[in-house]
A and B are shown apart, each in its own frame.
Chain A
Amino acid sequence: MSIENVSRRRFLKGVVGAGAFVLAVRYVPPIFSRHPAPDGQTEADRAPLHPNVFVGIETDGTVHIVAHRSEMGTAIRTTLPLVVADELDADWNRVKIDQAIGDKRYGDQNTDGSHSIRSFFDTMRECGASARWMLVQAAAQKWNVPASECSTAPHTVVHAKSGRKLGYGELASAAAKLDVPKKEQLTFKKPAEWRYIGKGKTSYDLEKLCTGKAIYGIDAKIEGMVYASIEHPPVYGGKVKSYDEQEALKVSGVRQTMLIDPFKPPAAFQPLGGVAVLADNTWAAFQGRKKLKITWDNGANESYDSAEYKKELQETARKPAKVVRSVGDANAALAAASGSNVVEAEYYVPLLAHAPMEPMVALAEFKDGKATIWAPTQNPQAVQAIVSTELGIPKENVICNVTLLGGGFGRKSKPDYVAEAAVLSKKVGRPVKVMWTREDDIKFDYYNAVAGMYFKAAVDAKGKPTAWLQRSVFPPITSIFDVNAVYGDPPHLAQGWTDMPYDLPNLSIENGPAKAHVRIGWLRSVANIYHGFGIQCFTDELAHRAHRDPYEYLLDLIGPARTIDFKNVEYPNYGASLETYPWETGRLRHVTEVVAEKSGWAKKKSVKGHGFGIAAHKSFLTYVATVVEVEVNDQGEIRIPRVDTAVDAGLIANPEITRAQFEGAAVFGTSIVRTGEITAKNGVIQQSNFNDYPVARINEAPRQTNVHLVESSAPPAGVGEPGVPPFVAAFCNAIYAATGKRVRNLPLSSSGLFG
């Protein structure tokens, strides 16, 4: 990490008050400024730096902290600055947060993969500690005492011996003249001294979120902008043959139409193409679009039928495939086992859409060779990259302002919708805001992959597996970057598949090929959704088959505490080192024990119509176990009175926010299990809105989710995503306990199990 003291640089004038003390700089323009100040991107600034942040202290003591990651409801825009504030020993009430534009000087800004805290915790502490070090030095010099005699209280440097004190604001100018310390010079607070880390704060934006004042992408507005709505090719990879705009132009408020070129494969984040209607307001654009007459060339995906595709996927899953990890010789052991001791099962999860409440939307202004963007994006640097490519301008000439996001769940890390706005703005020579309808959002998503899974186990007299084969088949996310990609890539196979944690003598973990006919993309928990569902439900099947308690059985399979050996196995471990983040089955075991205890598992016996299910799954380096209670009435209506989830996410920076993430994950998982399904006929997606792609409502969601955070001294791990997979499996296991019906095909609404 590298922090520069750039207080005196010319380009910072006017950013913060005169004499302001600035670390790790970046000027962030007010969100709707038409003319962002020059951001001082010299060659030196553009040099690849380690992630760094902006800490500015005004002479009045105001502390500015830049949030460089996107806010979509996880409060990351609050929690990372909170870490800075803690090490700076700042008073949180005097902190102001600025949202960073997209800029590689921050390092990774893709707010995806549940790794913001993990990847930036140390960096944020260093940023805060560096500033504090300089303030202490400045005070020591003023008082002519050794710095070692000085300490800090919130927003103040203190010399206890003489009783003298100076506020951070009073010291800002003097500190600005000092060199930035090296990391070795820094002293960090001890955990016991933390005021904010581990205690947490609610969102910096909380009041705005409750008063309609929060600014999302949909709220972006600049003078002279026009509103656009785009008719996309109904089949992935299709294009416009011809179109008639006459009737569209007659709609009051419609200005013009514009053809958008189809993408050149691979699709990646390019616009899908189609016809845009530009108008004076959103409604006129929507109305005009309905009047377009377009003839399409649907292309090769016209034959895609999701029901047929499901059969192919399952066929593939029954055949031997690529082995990604093995122990012993599962095939030989399975062949040697007697038929009555062999268990097989197939599991299936369909394509899933993200459906964040704010549909895709972006505002772009192309002017004088520069593009200025306002967008709800999880990935502003990907915005820079795709807009740069589409418009043929340097990345540095793409200024991406990041608004709040009305939900993201991974969809908004793919900026095709932003590229559309930029392309249109360049074509029409004025600012353009592209607004997707909900139908656009459902039909033109980057779907979570459909997956077929096959399991086969040989069991001993106690029902414990002596051999275990698991095979998954799903069109990989890499297919959006490489049209020939059909096998799961190691990072996504690592999501709950390669790392199947059971301690078994014979194990074969396999993956078969599947071609994509839609755009496949990351969705909250990603491949863990289907992998966790398959493994944890198959485990429950085996437990019931052996007439054993599912909790005791699960613990038996996890086995004694050990570190999983990934020698000679490609296991990317979510980008973290296995040294810092080893796979410790003892921690999975522990959360399983905790959730059993907290949920009162031992006392709760499932009866007809009222069942309890359990599952444990590690993802994004976090160990989670969940118990779900369900009630099923004679009409097959399912209620979820209670959920208990135990979480070991290492050090937890913001506990209350973490609890909220796991509460939300249970609701997200409820939608997946109950109704989450995208299907296609003749290449056309069959769903369109919340009527045919329903998501959980308040009466369908778990009534009470209790989140049990396990105290841990391990380094921080993810909290946004890991709650979904064990919930999905535990919910289905509870349904079995209550009804005797095994859910192997999601969702329930099309499983045929309940009417």
Chain B
Amino acid sequence: MVKINVNGVDHSFDGDPSMPLLWYLRDVLGLTGTKFGCGIALCGACTVHSNGEAIRSCITPLSAAAGSKIRTIEDVGANGLHPVQKAWIEVNAPQCGYCQSGQIMQAIALLKSKPHPTDQDIDDGMAGNICRCGTYQRIRAAIKLAAEKSA
């Protein structure tokens, strides 16, 4: 039995503890905002927060997430849009949008550690998140905007 806290709610799961957190979130809890892109932590589409840090849920077995506080995109905007989401909307960042949950989760974590990121910080912090539509320029602008607004 794995006990896990997702978006402030305690859950217990008696299935396969090696199941990655991603599939538990999506198939068991129905939290589909977190996406599957590669399955081996190469694209960042599955990014969620574990105790406030960005992790790749596609390679995190439930057993490893047990006891952690997991936060997904669904919770981020639950009580009104997060400043990062507002910035994303203001610069019209998404195209297809599929990677953007992961991008936003990653950006929130980046801004927590670097409230005023340089371009190099953004490169370093966001290079693990692929956007095949190519919205990087706007993602960069959104991160800077969010940083500016929280200043």
Contacts and interface: CB of A to CB of B under 8 A. Distances in A.
Contacts of B32: 212, 215, 218-219, 221
5 contacts: A209-B100, A212-B74, A356-B132, A664-B95, A695-B130
B19 A281 contact: yes
A218 B36 contact: yes
A647 to B, nearest CB: 16
B38 interface: yes
A205 B74 CA distance: 16
A210 B35 contact: no
Contacts of B137: 663, 701-705
A661 B123 CA distance: 22
Interface in B37-62: 37-40, 42-43, 45
A323 interface: no
B98 A210 contact: no
A368 interface: no
A166 B99 CA distance: 45
The 5 closest A-B pairs by CB, nearest first: A212-B33, A667-B134, A406-B98, A209-B97, A73-B95
Contacts of A679: none
Interface in B73-90: 73-74, 76-77, 81, 85, 88-89
Nearest to A281: B27
A593 to B, nearest CB: 25
A282 interface: yes
Given A73-B95, A699-B124, A699-B127, 20 more contacts: A72-B96, A207-B89, A208-B97, A210-B94, A210-B104, A211-B73, A211-B74, A282-B23, A283-B27, A356-B132, A357-B43, A357-B130, A357-B132, A405-B96, A407-B132, A661-B95, A670-B134, A689-B39, A698-B129, A698-B131
B28 interface: yes
Contacts of B20: 283
Interface of B: 15-16, 19-20, 23, 26-28, 30-40, 42-43, 45, 72-74, 76-77, 81, 85, 88-89, 92-101, 104, 119, 122-124, 126-140
B91 to A, nearest CB: 10
Nearest to A690: B42
A668 B137 CA distance: 13
B135 A210 contact: no
B129 A355 contact: no
Looking at chain B's contact residues, is the secondary structure mostly helix, strand, loop, or mixed?
loop
Interface residues of A, number: 68
A660 interface: yes
A736 B75 CA distance: 49
B34 to A, nearest CB: 7
Interface of A: 71-75, 202-203, 205-216, 218-219, 221, 227, 252-253, 281-284, 286-287, 355-359, 404-409, 435, 437-438, 656, 660-661, 663-668, 670, 689-691, 695-699, 701-705
B133 A252 contact: no
Given A210-B104, A211-B77, A666 B96 contact: no
Nearest to B140: A698
A691 B99 contact: no
A462 B9 CA distance: 75
A405 B88 CA distance: 19
- Chain A CB count within 10 A is highest, among B19, B92, B136, for B136
Given A665-B134, A689-B40, A210 B92 contact: no
Contacts of B96: 71-73, 356-358, 404-408
A205 B138 contact: no
A698 B88 contact: no
A698 B135 CA distance: 9
A282 B25 CA distance: 11
B39 A437 contact: yes
Contact of A698 (B23, B89, B94, B123): B123
B36 A698 contact: no
Given A206-B94, A357-B98, A212 B139 contact: no
A664 B74 contact: no
A279 to B, nearest CB: 10
Nearest to B99: A357
B38 A438 contact: yes
B130 A281 contact: no
